Structure 1
């Protein structure tokens, strides 16, 4: 499927139900931990491309591992292969992956004693890693670039001979993702502490308790249904499975954020129900430093409702699958909007114009395709490279069809 047409649609029923696969963020962390501690059993693992690539890479015996567009896998596997004693691996990816920086993580691992060299360009993949025993246990890391660098180190820390003392420099980005990693370590019996700007992970020489861990469904994927409900009439409900009210995932901030769009969220057992209870068209201001992946969804929701929004804390969006700030500005303005961006902010001017049958470019970015999809409740449009959604949510278009979206190839 290269491109699809989303025809102007409305939901079939005022009440719909969708089951969403496990969180990509949790799955990729737990897949790496299972590789280190094979006695762990995992359920509800994400069916995303990224998690499948992670699974394949962790079981690969090849000396070249290609993770394509999977940024999380690139960061986590850099750390993982650094501690696989006696193993030599070249870790590579897509053309875009070779433009995404890895230097901060590589330097931190080298400071711990890792043997990593660049194959092409300094500071970027591909990288050649010779796995060895790491005995050093203290390192500092810039904390305002990507929390995935931090999580990569934390995931292998308990397998270092002396554990890890990690000092974070500067403002810390995406704290919930770091806390997610530490909570998952705790669940398998690894001791850690996070005080001020220092994280300590104790070495774990004893056997972990064999246990089953169930991955919570993906909150980033849920964001598109929050957007859909926000664009619907009062009384519309969508119930999503399987979600926890006290989630580890930073994107669970959606509950509070979409309350400002008149969407009420209620939890029952392992489901959450989103219900449109009021219309709220006041301008929105959100700091998304701890949940940058939902910025595209929120910007498109505001555009669809014709309201202004001021989004802050978005500096990590420039090093994602594409420069998401530039991409958002380009595509929203094609549709008739007006957007100002800086290095870390996006301001959407209020607009009552939404053009029809505009072709939305997705830039190899799954979130661009999915964030714009709810606009089909307002207008018809074309989504280019539509199956890019398989990176995190392969059944996305099928799920939209079940609730009433009209889609043709």
Structure 2
């Protein structure tokens, strides 16, 4: 499905309810599988979370998680420690190109039985579940935090818990802290000190009901919309000012782009201001790389330069997001330079009209570029990809007054 967004001059002042955080939901689904006493409220309605639920309920030999990278990593650790269960964990063509070796080697250190069915270092994986014979593991710290969180989530179910030693500079710290916080929410003793993570064994927990905070990554597109609009506001629920999510840094970042965040009970209001920086200088997004596309496109729409760093994990996402951003922004008339972990956007006075944006099977490409309809009409190719994290995205844009039509 392709969609066309006709250029609009402004948006309606509305209140929208954003689905629960995909990151929190997927972590809690693993914990719920280990501890059925957990009840989850405001669970994400994303494809990724649905895939995770289906996989955890599966009794078959083959588990296909399609494009869901988080599910691939978390389920690798989960099934590896599921005594007596043997599965072939596989996914889409792109998933078979996404590295998993760091996690597999860490699990093998614990004594887990995992073999590659195809190319070394990549899915699909043949996993024979067993109880690990070690309670200590080391792995590189500058890789995707999901490898680390995958180990942390299964740690309390292990007979002696788990000590994780991180080698080198730790990146994506907020995601590790999110996992620590969720473990503590269910009564697990867990610590994260420097390069060491220590998680104690927990045989059983008391019944607990946990509410998933709405997704800050999804909120980013509305920050972009307000930044590109003319003196309008949008209210989003349900959020809190002490979030577990690293992407909550949006509130501070977008202050430079003319958007104020007003916190009230269970919601945030994004309000346009007159404060606008001349450029975004050396913004380190190593702790929140998922909002890089949104920020780059916002700056492009505002005619601002920006320099984003800490983006090395974007090379192994649904697509190579740095190259995809460069290609699509330059189609719209911009100029971009990228390295393995940086993006430099040059100021552009004009956005070209009626350009079709390719999404590369990447939900964030579709949603990051949609706000540009506040500048010029734009088309999004394979727009249905948004269902991976935010199935209601196009209907919510309609609520705000965007003119979205299938073509």
Q: Provide the residue aligned with 1:41 in structure 2.
A: 39
CA displacement at 1:20 relative to structure 2: 0.4
Alignment of 1:34-73 (within 5 A): 34-73=32-71
So what's the TM-score if we normalise by structure 1? 0.98
1:242-321, aligned counterparts within 5 Å?
Answer: 242-285=238-281, 286-321=283-318
Contact 1:244 1:271 in 2 (8 A): yes
SS in 2 for 1:116: strand
SS at match of 2:254: helix
For 1:281 and 1:216, locate their aligned partners in 2 and report how far apart those are by CA, in whole Å.
30
TM-score, L = length of structure 2: 0.99
Contact 1:28 1:73 in 2 (8 A): yes
Aligned residue number for residue 156 of structure 2: 158
Q: 2:2: which partner in 1? A: 3
Cα deviation, residue 247, structure 1: 0.3
The answer to whether the Cα contact below 8 Å between 1:289 and 1:313 also exists between their aligned partners in 2 is: yes
Q: CA deviation at 1:279?
A: 4.2
Report deviation, 1:209: 1.1
Per-residue deviation, 1:74 = 0.1
1:375 corresponds, among 362, 372, 375, to 372
Once residues 399 and 191 of structure 2 are traced to their aligned partners in structure 1, the CA distance between those partners, rounded to angstroms, is 45
2:387 matches 1:390:
yes
What is the deviation of 1:135? 2.7
3-state SS of paired residue (2:99): coil
Aligned partners of 1:233 and 1:42: how far apart in 2?
Answer: 38
**Cα contact 1:64–1:90 (8 A) shared by 2:** yes
**2:19 is the counterpart of 1:21:** yes
CA-CA distance at 1:281 after TM superposition: 4.1
Task: For residue 365 of structure 2, give the secondary structure of its aligned residue in structure 1.
Answer: helix
Match of 2:201 in 1: 203
Question: What secondary structure, in the 3-state scheme, does the structure 2 residue paired with 1:329 have?
Answer: helix
Q: Deviations over 1:282-318 (max 9, x none)?
A: 1102110000000000000000000100000000000
Aligned residues of 2:10 and 2:230 also touching (Cα < 8 A): no
Whole-angstrom distance in 2 between the partners of 1:69 and 1:232: 33
Write out aligned runs for 1:155-234 (5 A).
155-205=153-203, 207-234=204-231
- 1:54 shift after superposition: 0.2
Counterpart CA distance in 1 for 2:133 and 2:224 is 48
Corresponding residue SS for 2:276:
coil
Question: What pairs up with 1:82-93 in 2 under 5 angstroms?
Answer: 82-93=80-91
Contact 1:135 1:161 in 2 (8 A): no
Alignment RMSD: 0.7
**Partners of 1:170 and 1:12 in 2: CA distance:** 46
- The answer (yes or no) to whether the contact 2:256–2:275 under 8 Å persists in 1 is no
1:408 maps to 2:389: no
Contact 1:281–1:305, Cα closer than 8 Å, also in 2: no
* Contact 2:255–2:275 (CA under 8 A) maintained in structure 1: no
Helix, strand or coil for the counterpart of 2:395?
Answer: helix
Q: Which runs of 5+ in 1 are unaligned?
A: none
In the alignment, which residue of structure 1 is the partner of 2:78? 80
Instruction: State the aligned residue count.
Output: 405
- Which deviations, in whole Å up to 9, do the C-alpha atoms of 1:324-383 show, x marking residues without a partner? 000000000000000000000000000102100001000000000000000000001110
Q: Which residue of structure 2 lines up, in the alignment, with residue 343 of structure 1?
A: 340
Cα shift at 1:195: 1.1
Q: Secondary structure at the match of 1:158?
A: helix
1:10 Cα deviation from its structure 2 partner: 3.4
Write the distance in 2 (CA, Å) between the matches of 1:87 and 1:363.
34
Q: Given that residues 11 and 229 in structure 2 are in contact (C-alpha distance below 8 angstroms), is that contact kept between their aligned partners in structure 1? A: no
